[in-house]
Each structure stands twice: as C-alpha cells, then as structure tokens.
C-alpha cells in the first residue's frame, strides 16, 4: 500500500469522504432504534471510512494525521462497556442485562434518540467494532511492512 500505486485523485476523494462517512455511521447508530441500523453496522461503516484512509495514504501517514494508534484500545473499552451494561443489573439484584427504563415506563427522548441502556449497549458495540476492525487492519499493515523490509 505504497503511495506510488495510489493516485492523487483517490487520495483527495478519500480525504473528502472521511467526515461524511463518520457522520453517516453515527446517524445509522442513532437511527437504530427508530428504523434500519444498529451499533454493529454503524461501527463497520465508520471503520470502513478509516480503512479507506489506510488504503489511500498508507499506514504511517494515516496514523500520524488521525491519531489512530489508540483506536484498537477502544475495542476493549467497548467490551468493558458492554459488560458493564450487562452486569450492573446483577448488583441491583436483577437478572443479567436488564435494561432501564423497565418496560411500560417512559423514556427520556433527545430528539428522536432515546436515552435507554439498550442504546448505550449499541454504542459500546459500535466502539468495539470500530476498534476491532481498525486493529485488524493495523496489525496486517504493520506485519506487511515487516515482511516487505
């Protein structure tokens, strides 16, 4: 994935597409409870945007410009978050993964987004998927550099 095989046109397009892709991914995430979309797809869309940067610019430049070194750690942050959402009800004496607010009562709405723990679960899945896919790509890219050398 060296610069010589990627044209300037691709790089410009990739640079322009990054922000919209991230916005769309967040939109898909937020839209999950109202219509099509969920944390997993949103996460994959966001990570595809980041992978596009890797392909177009090469690993080192993307890492430097976008500070992507810590993104794989987000995978484990997401996992911890998901486990927290699942296990906190245990501390309150309820079965695992009991969501709040309980069925039947009203939820707090911010626009069309509901503030419920299920949405928080989706967000943790989103973070985890982004971290994992970017982590895979980084591992492969770094290994590739080692092989090429």
Partner 1 sequence: MPWAPALDLRLALTLDGLGALYSLLAAGVGLAVLAYSAAYLPRHLAHQARPARAGLPFYGLLVLFMASMIGLATAQDLILLFVFWDLTAIASYFLIAYDRREADARWAALMALIVTGVSAVLLLIGALMLYSEYGTFALPELFERVEPGTTLTVAAALMAVAALVKSAQAPLHFWLPRAMAAPTPVSAYLHSAAMVAAGVLLIGRVYPFVASSGLLLDGLVVVGAVSIVVGGVLALTRDDLKQLLAYSTISQYGYVVLMYGLGGAAGAVAASFYVIAHALAKSALFLTAGAVTEATGARELSRLGGLARRLPLLAVASGIAVASIVALPLTAGFFGDELLFKAALEHGWAAALGAVAAAALTFAYLARFWVGIFLGPLRSAAETRLPALMVVPIAALAAVLVVGGVWPAPFAELAGAAAESSLLAPATASVAYHLDLRDENLMALAAWSVGAALVAAPALWRAPAAALAALGERLGPERVYGRSLWALNRLSDRIHDIEVRDLRTRVAAVLLPGGVLVALGFAVTPTEGAYEVGTVTVDDLVLVLLLAFVGAAAVATTRPRNQFVLVLTLAVVGFGLAAVYAVAGAADVALVAVLVETVLALLFLGVFALLPREALRREQTLAERPSRRWRDPLIATVAGIGAFVLVWGALSRPAPEASVAEDHIRLADDAHAKDVVTAIIADFRGLDTLGEVTVVAVALLGVVALLRRGRLT
Q: What is the chain's length?
A: 149
Which region among 10-18, 62-70, 131-139 touches partner 1 (by CB under 8 A)? 131-139
DSSP-assigned beta bridge partners for residue 110 = 113
List all residues 6 or more positions away from 102 whose beta carbon is below 8 Å from its beta carbon.
none
Which region among 4-12, 13-21, 63-71, 102-110 touches partner 1 (by CB under 8 A)? 102-110
Closest CA to 24 of 38, 50, 45: 45
Binding-site string for partner 1 from residue 63 to residue 92, where x marks contact by CB under 8 A and - marks none = ---------x--xx-xx--xx--x------
Query: Which two tokens mark 113?
Result: 């987004």
SS3 76: helix
Among 21, 39, 53, 71, binds partner 1 (CB under 8 A): 39
Among 48, 58, 61, 66, binds partner 1 (CB under 8 A): 48
Cβ(142)–Cβ(59) below 8 Å: yes
Which region among 5-13, 16-24, 62-70, 139-147 touches partner 1 (by CB under 8 A)? 139-147
Query: Which two tokens mark 109?
Result: 């709405």
Distance between CA atoms of residues 13 and 110, nearest Å: 34
Query: Which two tokens mark 131?
Result: 């971290």
Among 19, 65, 70, 96, binds partner 1 (CB under 8 A): 96
Q: Which residues bind partner 1 (CB under 8 A)?
A: 32-41, 44-45, 47-48, 51, 55, 72, 75-76, 78-79, 82-83, 86, 95-97, 99, 101, 103-104, 107, 114, 116, 118-119, 121-122, 124-125, 128-129, 131-133, 135-137, 139-144, 146-147, 149
């Amino acid at each position: 994935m060296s610069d010589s095989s990627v044209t300037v046109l691709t790089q410009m397009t990739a640079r322009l597409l990054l922000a919209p892709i991230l916005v769309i991914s967040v939109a898909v995430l937020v839209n999950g409870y109202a219509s099509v979309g969920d944390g997993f797809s949103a996460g994959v869309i966001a990570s595809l945007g980041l992978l596009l940067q890797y392909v177009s610019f090469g690993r080192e430049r993307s890492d430097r410009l976008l500070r992507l070194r810590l993104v794989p750690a987000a995978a484990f942050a997401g996992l911890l978050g998901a486990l927290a959402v699942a296990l906190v009800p245990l501390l309150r004496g309820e079965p695992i993964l009991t969501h709040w607010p309980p069925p039947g009562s009203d939820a707090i709405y911010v626009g069309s987004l509901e503030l419920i723990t299920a949405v928080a679960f989706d967000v943790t899945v989103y973070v985890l998927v982004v971290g994992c896919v970017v982590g895979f790509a980084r591992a492969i890219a770094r290994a590739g550099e080692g092989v090429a050398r």
